[in-house]
Amino acid sequence: MRTCLECETKLVGREDKKFCNDSCRNSYNNKINKDSNNLMRNTNNQLRKNYRILCLLNEDGKTKILTSKLLQQGFDFQLFTSIYQTKSGTTYYFVYDQGYMNIDHEYCLLVIRK
């Protein structure tokens, strides 16, 4: 038995019908958009936070820093806007123009893209 994706009322009629009416279709789609908007908002907030942290800790434009200091501030290493890999194989992660690379397990080098 097919039911409406929004209100779970039994559906009659066309085989490919997913909703009983436009209002069910609209509220279902609004909910989906709202979820993805929340995800986007949270992601953007964390990116902004990451950016603020890098700016704050990298006053000189090039700073060696304990990775744990970034974590303490709430830095999320999963979120960045671009990656740059040098010929020698070093990977820089950027949040806009602020970036970092892992020196070793303990230290990061913070840089700014010119």
Q: Is 31 in the site for Zn ion (CB under 5 A)?
A: no
Q: How far is CA 92 from the centre of its chain?
A: 18
Q: Is 11 in the site for Zn ion (CB under 5 A)?
A: no
Assigned token pair, 25? 């279709």
Q: Is 5 in the site for Zn ion (CB under 5 A)?
A: no
The minimum distance between CB 27 and Zn ion, in angstroms, equals 9
**Single residue of 1, 2, 3, 7 touching Zn ion by CB under 5 A:** 7
The set of residues, in sequence order, having a beta carbon less than 8 Å from that of 99 and lying 6+ positions away, is 54, 84, 92, 93, 110, 111, 112, 113
Q: What is the amino acid identity at position 60?
A: D
Contact 70, 108 (CB under 8 A): yes
Q: Is 95 in the site for Zn ion (CB under 5 A)?
A: no
The minimum distance between CB 19 and Zn ion, in angstroms, equals 5
Strand 107-112 to 91-95 pairing: unpaired
Return d(Cα 98, Cα 79) in angstroms, integer: 12
The minimum distance between CB 6 and Zn ion, in angstroms, equals 5
Q: Is 24 in the site for Zn ion (CB under 5 A)?
A: yes
Q: Is 4 in the site for Zn ion (CB under 5 A)?
A: yes
Q: How many residues bind Zn ion (CB under 5 A)?
A: 6
Interface positions with Zn ion (CB under 5 A) = 4, 6-7, 9, 20, 24
